[in-house]
């Protein structure tokens, strides 16, 4: 039995859900999202509660049960509250600035990196060394944050680079004579 799949997803105030076949669409103040479940699970909406149940006892049905419930819960959370990833830049001269929908990163390369922010994602730069990525889709927010971080991942000797806020980078010891 899936412990996650058994839990129902309650819809908060201001969020509505509608079904058509295996596709569920969730609308809220931050936007709308839809998800098409596989034929291994059944989605039902009753009294502002969404429940996911498996259609069989196969391994695939049990896998899809917990995954589908988590995706629906993330959609409900995303349209009511945004998801947020915070990045911090460490390094001498490393900084970021926002120019319209383009994030310009100065990361010690011979050129500045221009990162186009995709639709549905909001990027803010409160300080030149901090980047905040927000959106209603958890997968897209995480992917955009990972793509930004990929330009200069933190290195283990000096710790320079782009890291998630609160991320610990194990510092290695340099060469000795």
**Any idea what the CATH number is for the domain that residue 158 is in?**
3.90.930.12
Is residue 87 located within the same domain as residue 160? yes
Pairing of strands 102-106, 113-116: antiparallel
| In a shared domain, residues 75 and 96 | no
Q: What does pTM read for this prediction?
A: 0.85
For the segment 34-86, what is each residue's pLDDT rounded down to a tens digit?
999 988 999 999 988 999 999 988 899 888 998 999 999 999 999 999 899 99
* Structural domains of the chain, count: 2
Q: How far apart are CA 10 and CA 47, in angstroms?
A: 9
Question: 65 with 135, same domain?
Answer: no
In this structure, the answer to whether residues 88 and 118 fall within a common structural domain is: yes
Boundaries of domain holding 62: 3-80
Query: Do 65 and 96 fall into the same domain?
Result: no
- Same structural domain, 143 and 93: yes
């Amino acid at each position: 039995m899936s412990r996650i799949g058994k839990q129902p997803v309650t819809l908060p105030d201001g969020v509505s859900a509608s079904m058509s076949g295996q596709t569920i669409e969730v609308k809220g103040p931050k936007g709308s999202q839809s998800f098409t479940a596989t034929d291994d699970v059944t989605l039902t909406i009753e009294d502002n509660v969404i429940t996911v149940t498996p259609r069989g006892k196969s391994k695939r049905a049990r896998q899809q049960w917990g995954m589908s419930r988590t995706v629906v819960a993330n959609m409900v959370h995303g349209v009511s509250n945004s998801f947020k990833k915070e990045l911090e830049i460490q390094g001498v001269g490393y900084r970021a600035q926002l120019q319209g929908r383009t994030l310009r990163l100065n990361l010690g390369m011979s050129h500045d990196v221009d990162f186009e922010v995709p639709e549905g994602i909001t990027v803010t730069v409160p300080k030149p060394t901090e980047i905040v990525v927000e959106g209603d889709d958890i997968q897209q927010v995480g992917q955009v944050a990972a793509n930004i971080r990929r330009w200069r991942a933190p290195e283990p000797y000096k710790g320079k680079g782009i890291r998630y806020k609160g991320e610990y980078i194990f510092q290695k010891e340099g060469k000795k004579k």
